[in-house]
Structure 1
Amino acid sequence: MARITKGILGGFSGKVGTIVGANWRGQDIIRSTPKPNSRPPSEKQLLQQTKFKLVIDFLKPVKNIQRKYFGTGSGSKSRVNMAVSYTINEAIQMTGDIPELMYNKVLITKGDLAGFQNAAATPQAGNIIRLNWENNSQQGNADATDKANAVCYCEELGTFEIFESITERSMLTADITLPAYHAGKEIQLWIFLNNAKETLACNSAYLGNLTLI
């Protein structure tokens, strides 16, 4: 069944007989139904599929953040799709034949808000990570009330811990506490700021690979 989107003379989406209607880059198009392809995928295609699955699986837990705070969201690509494309193109390296994520290249958020200044993270006893940064509340479009957030990923466990609105930019420090089962584990850490209206964020900052105490 097809759906007409702009009246009887407009574009449509879906399948009608042997044609398919869709919107591509803002243009209404129709194309014939693709024929089944019995040809096995090439090595290049298999590698791209592997990269795509790696990135999709990794980013899935932060999808709600990226839906709000990755890029402008204009045009035909969603913010989530832009995050996937960026990560595949900029944050993957090959180790032999195996694609691997470069965590220092990963962006959790991407935007025009002024970011942290000289941020640092230090593990504390009790699975605590202490965050510190310098005051830049008067820089560009920064504001003292911007909200600080932290995203932690444990590769060994394959899990994320997300801490949203933990404090404001002007506070210059914050502690986050991970669950007890993270004791002694290595944690990848990113932080980012968003404005109080939740309409704008900065590029996330990667603070490194930390071992919890």
Structure 2
Amino acid sequence: MGKLYDSLLSGTSGRTGRIVVANVSGNEISRVRPKKRSGQPTVKQLLIQNRMKKCALFMQSYRGYACKYFGTRMGMKSSYNLAMTNLMENFKINYADATITPDYPMLSFSKGTLLAPVPLALNLATAGTLEVTWQDNAAGNTERENDFAQILVAIKDEDISMFVENAAKRYDAAYTVSLPVNFQSKPLHIWIAFRTEDGETASNSQYAGTVS
């Protein structure tokens, strides 16, 4: 991929032969369009493709949030790209066994400079209710007390997650998640992050643990 300066094609997009020109976030780039695959994909290629599909499905519930609150753009990499990179790196492929296994504690859904949460406990009070608690670590700072908790819940070994946005305030120190039927009676993984009341900044997400 190349970046174009003072291009004759400036302000345009499209392709000529195998050369594709596009404008990405104000940057005009060129790339060579890949050739169509002539044969069947290898086992390795299928695993890589399947990992991409799994990551996209996993992020589906919080994609809108990640597009705003997963770090800041780095060159041509958007917040979405950074969030997807985190998933791709931590959905581990075992080529020998032809398996893909998420490293759940290493997965993140939020990246930022806000004061991070301190998860405390998880409890399945009933099959349909998950109690999540955290420390009110605002230390009397009113702005931090009013940060909104963001909670992500995922089913172990399944490619789906559910996202609860603005669940409670930091000072509440607890929230009860109502689990849909397809999340009940299954091992769950949980993460927490905070976002400011004005929506300007978010924290790193923290892995809270697992319950079953």
Which bracket does the TM-score occupy, shorter chain normalised? Answer: 0.7 to 0.9
Task: State the partner residue of 1:98.
Answer: 99
Mean Cα deviation higher: 35-44 or 79-88: 35-44
State whether structure 2 residue 147 is matched by structure 1 residue 146.
Answer: yes
Shift of 1:49: 1.9
State whether structure 2 residue 176 is matched by structure 1 residue 175.
Answer: yes
The whole-number CA distance in structure 2 between the counterparts of 1:39 and 1:25 is 35
Task: State the partner residue of 1:208.
Answer: 209
Contact 2:193 2:202 in 1 (8 A): yes
The whole-number CA distance in structure 2 between the counterparts of 1:172 and 1:131 is 8
Q: Percent identity?
A: 26
Mean Cα deviation higher: 14-23 or 76-85: 14-23
The whole-number CA distance in structure 2 between the counterparts of 1:182 and 1:45 is 31
CA 13–106 in structure 1, closer or farther in 2 if over 3 Å, else same? same
Q: Equivalent residue of 2:192, what SS? A: strand
Mean Cα deviation higher: 190-199 or 123-132: 123-132
CA RMSD, 1 decimal? 3.2
Q: How many residues align?
A: 206
CA 103–123 in structure 1, closer or farther in 2 if over 3 Å, else same? same
Q: Equivalent residue of 1:166, what SS? A: coil
Task: State the partner residue of 1:69.
Answer: 69
Task: State the partner residue of 1:57.
Answer: 57
* CA deviation map 1:116-140 (0-9, x unaligned): 1243222213522222222211499
Give the structure-2-normalised TM-score: 0.79
Shift of 1:28: 3.2
Shift of 1:36: 3.7
Structure 1, unaligned runs of 5 or more: 1-5
Q: Which amino acid aligns with 1:111?
A: G
Shift of 1:115: 0.9
Q: Equivalent residue of 2:101, what SS? A: strand
Mean Cα deviation higher: 18-27 or 59-68: 18-27
The whole-number CA distance in structure 1 between the counterparts of 2:151 and 2:117 is 12
CA 59–96 in structure 1, closer or farther in 2 if over 3 Å, else same? same
1:119-130 equivalences under 5 Å are: 119-125=120-126, 127-130=128-131
Which one has the bigger strand percentage?
1
Give the structure-1-normalised TM-score: 0.79
Mean Cα deviation higher: 145-154 or 30-39: 30-39
Q: Equivalent residue of 2:144, what SS? A: coil
Contact 2:118 2:206 in 1 (8 A): no
Q: Equivalent residue of 2:105, what SS? A: helix
Mean Cα deviation higher: 105-114 or 16-25: 16-25
Q: Equivalent residue of 2:138, what SS? A: coil
Contact 1:114 1:139 in 2 (8 A): no
Structure 2, unaligned runs of 5 or more: 1-5
State whether structure 2 residue 17 is matched by structure 1 residue 13.
Answer: no
The whole-number CA distance in structure 2 between the counterparts of 1:139 and 1:117 is 16
Contact 2:155 2:187 in 1 (8 A): yes
Contact 2:61 2:162 in 1 (8 A): no
The whole-number CA distance in structure 1 between the counterparts of 2:45 and 2:11 is 32
Q: Which amino acid aligns with 2:112?
A: G
Shift of 1:41: 4.1
Q: Which amino acid aligns with 1:163?
A: V
Shift of 1:8: 6.2
The whole-number CA distance in structure 2 between the counterparts of 1:144 and 1:202 is 14
CA 75–133 in structure 1, closer or farther in 2 if over 3 Å, else same? same
State whether structure 2 residue 114 is matched by structure 1 residue 113.
Answer: yes
